A and B are shown apart, each in its own frame.
Chain A
């Protein structure tokens, strides 16, 4: 009798609860340990805190709870691949590898497994071509956009004329650091500036040779594609030789508080590109403090809220969440699969209205993803470090990259990849 009652109660509970919805799983391949931990922690915190906010404030995405599965890579490619293998069975919807090395390893694996990858502002640039890279997305910007935006900004500073000017590229001597070279060479042909290449070996603690060359050659501008310890050392060395900081421009991975703070006041005026706003003056961050940090549910201590890399994590999470929302809308279900998530990513459109509704007005560029264009519109800003205030200040409007130079390069590189890997490009007219 007793057992019958229990069984009846259980059956009633099940009926009343309705069909159980699976969680939306977002893996986070983070690096909170090792030489790059100082950069990995704020991003991972931002990524996780945004999903926690959605759960705590909104009950998830369209009522479905999200779950962030964090796996420590130590910024090590091998460990990153292990993390992918260990987490893909959990129903992972989209991977954010947070490393160009890991991205290159995951592109064939994730494509075969049918799980999308998002690499905003890093990874394989030519993955922008969605006809070839069906499962890879690098919106809203890539390194070649970055190179073009930097030159466009310099053009604006030099009244549109770069003839006879000298621009140096100080770069991490790795696949990542070499990414902008071809674009900068093409742009040099177009605008008539002289390009000076200065590679720095990993990890970049010693750069005396490069800065002695800069001191001697006196380039009009120095661009930097650095990472980790290379960035603060370069900024310190620039200060040492008294290179004008406002003519020193870093890519977005050379533009966080971690890069400028070690040099103190000497870093004042240093510039860097970005594809999202710095600071915490957005309604969403008030919610993060209220529902996540103050509620003791933050991924970390909450001290990084509003810093550049934390904001980048928030931005990546917001784009993932909006793609998931789009996928639900397209397929008419809340229980989405990685393949549906891919469809959502390919139909994602970010407008100012949408960002404002999310509490992040004008936080990132407006863009629309399509079957052929997985990379967005290539819009970036220039921000400048105010050492006295201890803040980045945005000094330009959104600058669009020069597609007439970049698109042919992307077409060439992606088609070479397609040929090497026996991929027949999709027909995006369907």
Chain B
């Protein structure tokens, strides 16, 4: 086999793994949309906020230190401790649950029954507020995320493929870890929604709000639950992407990579988010590989949207979305 073939294979494999990273972001959107028909514009900023909180807690940073110092003339910066990664992750998850409760109490509760566009606008406001709040709470400097995730070339894959094909394939160990985490997440989410009372309630709300309310399911509780899970997924996405670039405010832009995944996979399907991510990931990488050099490169951003638009033309509800049938 020629090198060109193995290189294409390497590009495709890396595309699949990158697609899983996109899917991690898309999953949060899907969960919230599925249960409340809200397109959560703040999902990317939630990933940023969760990652900032994780690093802040882990490194013992004093929250709102600059504000406190400015008001009281103190010189606070760190508590002087360093938390183990697992403890920091659990504490951050708790913060994201508190965030979900506040979102329900302060925003969603007051907008029950409003048009989806009103709820969407509310999440735009939430995104900008959360970005500023995160800045005030943890500062805007770039932070190194260090929770012991594997990173860099997988020597095992390289040496095995070199032995088999005479071409050592490059796979990033972080991408393998992300794929494993995504697999665990989807499995846990599926088991949760199928076999737990809360999960069944969540599915009931997703199917029909009114019917779910009529049998005594608390919509408010479900919203808190869903936003908490979306917050945890945002934490996972923030950690995986933050490990590549450090935790910085551009991290919120990862939401841009989730949109074509959602268009393709559908806004209401968890498998759709995963499959959509895989298609977008491999599609954009192979397009860049074959066509990119002919047209000057940098095709990945726009090609992902073109691919999603093509799918939209034939399946407006996305690959796995629910078909909308309205009868007059």
Contacts and interface: CB of A to CB of B under 8 A. Distances in A.
Given A35-B252, A215-B170, A205 B14 contact: no
A329 B301 CA distance: 53
Chief secondary structure at chain B's binding surface: helix
A22 interface: no
Contact of A212 (B14, B146, B248, B297): B14
B297 A197 contact: yes
B250 interface: yes
B7 A216 contact: yes
Contact of B292 (A32, A202, A209, A242): A209
B144 A37 contact: no
B250 A229 contact: yes
B64 interface: no
A113 interface: no
Interface string A256-272: 00100110101000000
Given A33-B132, A212-B14, A232 B142 contact: yes
A41 interface: yes
Contacts of A242: 152-153
Contact of B250 (A35, A41, A216): A35
B140 A261 contact: no
Interface in A175-207: 197-203, 205-206
A212 B135 contact: no
B300 interface: yes
Given A38-B141, A208-B285, A233-B245, A203 B152 contact: no
A236 interface: yes
Contact of B298 (A35, A173, A215): A173
A421 interface: no
Interface string B81-110: 000000000000000000000000000000
Q: Which of A38, A197, A228 has the most CB of B within 10 A?
A: A38
B10 interface: yes
A201 B301 contact: yes
B245 A262 contact: yes
Contacts of B141: 38, 41, 258
A14 interface: no
A173 B246 CA distance: 21
Interface string B54-74: 000000000000100100010
B244 A236 contact: yes
A223 to B, nearest CB: 16
A205 B253 contact: yes
A301 B254 contact: no
Given A200-B298, A205-B241, A232-B142, A212 B246 contact: no
A296 B75 CA distance: 11
Contacts of A35: 248-250, 252-253
B99 to A, nearest CB: 21
Given A35-B253, A199-B298, A208-B285, A301 B66 contact: yes
B250 to A, nearest CB: 4
Contacts of B18: 206, 208
Interface in A26-65: 32-38, 41
B148 interface: no
Given A37-B135, A240-B172, A201 B144 contact: no
Nearest to B242: A262
Given A199-B298, A241-B153, A233 B244 contact: yes
Interface in A113-142: none
Interface string B159-191: 000000000001010000000000000000000
Nearest to B14: A208
A239 interface: yes
Interface residues of B, number: 45
Interface string B107-123: 00000000000000000
Nearest to B292: A209
B296 interface: yes
A201 B304 CA distance: 12
A323 to B, nearest CB: 31
Contacts of B248: 35, 38, 229, 232, 258, 262
Contacts of B218: none
A311 to B, nearest CB: 16
A258 B253 CA distance: 18
A33 B135 contact: yes
Contacts of A198: 297
B297 A199 contact: yes
A261 B142 contact: yes
Contacts of B144: 261-262, 264
B23 to A, nearest CB: 13
A168 B248 CA distance: 27
Contacts of A37: 135, 140, 249
B288 A205 contact: no
Nearest to A41: B140
Interface in A399-418: none
28 contacts: A33-B135, A34-B249, A36-B249, A41-B140, A41-B141, A198-B297, A199-B297, A202-B301, A203-B250, A205-B253, A209-B11, A209-B288, A212-B10, A228-B250, A232-B246, A240-B151, A240-B152, A240-B153, A240-B170, A242-B152, A258-B142, A258-B246, A258-B248, A261-B144, A262-B144, A264-B146, A266-B152, A301-B69
Interface of B: 7, 10-11, 14-15, 18, 66, 69, 73, 132, 135, 140-146, 151-153, 170, 172, 241, 244-246, 248-254, 257, 285, 288-289, 292, 296-298, 300-302
Given A33-B140, A212-B170, A266-B152, 18 more contacts: A35-B253, A37-B135, A38-B141, A173-B297, A199-B297, A203-B250, A205-B241, A205-B257, A206-B18, A209-B288, A209-B292, A232-B245, A241-B170, A261-B142, A261-B144, A262-B144, A262-B248, A301-B69
